[in-house]
Structure 1
Amino acid sequence: MAAVTLDELIAYCGAKPGAEETYPWGDEELVCKVGGKAFAFIGLTGHTVGLKCGVDAEAAGEWRDRYPDDIAISGYIGRYGWNTVRLKGSVPDDDLLELVDQSYDAIVAKLPKRKRP
């Protein structure tokens, strides 16, 4: 199975309703946002993506347990349920895209109604 490429991941995130691409820390990391809130931190040089994978670190741990070599707790925001997923690793495309969808949905659900797409 061919792994999702960085360009495909960026296109997938960008196609979400109301999604916007930002580069708050320069050109090495793309942050995809909806309603002004991040739902994906895409590492352009390290080929990783940070996603909200649960309500807290414990809930997101299920994904880390499933793919210990390719999913790790995100620095600084991991306690809030964010994991970093390595692209081209053992995480199947379907699971990666499911994680993107879950992250996006979790962020949209927390937005005030007026900011939801």
Structure 2
Amino acid sequence: MNIEEFREYCIAKKGVTESFPFDEKILAFKVMGKMFALTSVAVNPATANLKCDPERSIELREEYDGLIIPGYHMSKIHWNTVELEKNIPQKIVLELIDHSYDLVVKSLTEKLQAELASL
């Protein structure tokens, strides 16, 4: 999966916005104002940081040793850095994006979840 495919998949999700909150190189994706994914537009090969259940993170890091690592500059427990253009099947990357999005949606207040549902 290349960076543009990653971007298109993320912004197609309900309630998602994109921005450069840190600098002109780090693109963040937020659902209802809460970040669920970020990527650097300047790194090659492309990587993305995605939120993940801690137990699943450990399993993924073991299965995709070196391709999924603890989140770079993020909580190492709740975030993974994923190599987008390497040997991880695209299906898995899409599942990880969905998982990250779903984790953040579940953490939203009831009011924000209702707003999201009405979009």
**Same fold, judged at TM 0.5 (above):** yes
Question: Secondary structure, in 3 states, of the residue corresponding to 1:26?
Answer: coil
Aligned equivalents of 1:65, 1:27: Cα separation in 2: 33
Question: Displacement, 1:106?
Answer: 0.4
TM-score normalized by the length of structure 1: 0.89
Structure 1, unmatched stretches of 5+, are none
Aligned residue among 96, 107, 111 for 2:93:
96
User: For 1:77, which of 71, 75, 78 is the aligned residue?
Assistant: 75
Q: What amino acid maps onto 1:48 in structure 2?
A: T
User: Structure 1 segments of 4 or more deviating over 6 A?
Assistant: none
Aligned partner letter, 1:50: N
Q: Is there any run of 5+ residues in structure 2 with no aligned partner, and where?
A: none
Specify the alignment match of 1:53 in structure 2: 52
Query: How many Å separate the matches in 2 of 1:21 and 1:98?
Result: 20
TM-score, structure 2 normalization: 0.88
Shift of 1:59: 3.6
| RMSD, matched Cα | 1.1
Q: What number of residue pairs does the alignment pair up? A: 111
Q: Does 1:19 align with 2:23?
A: no
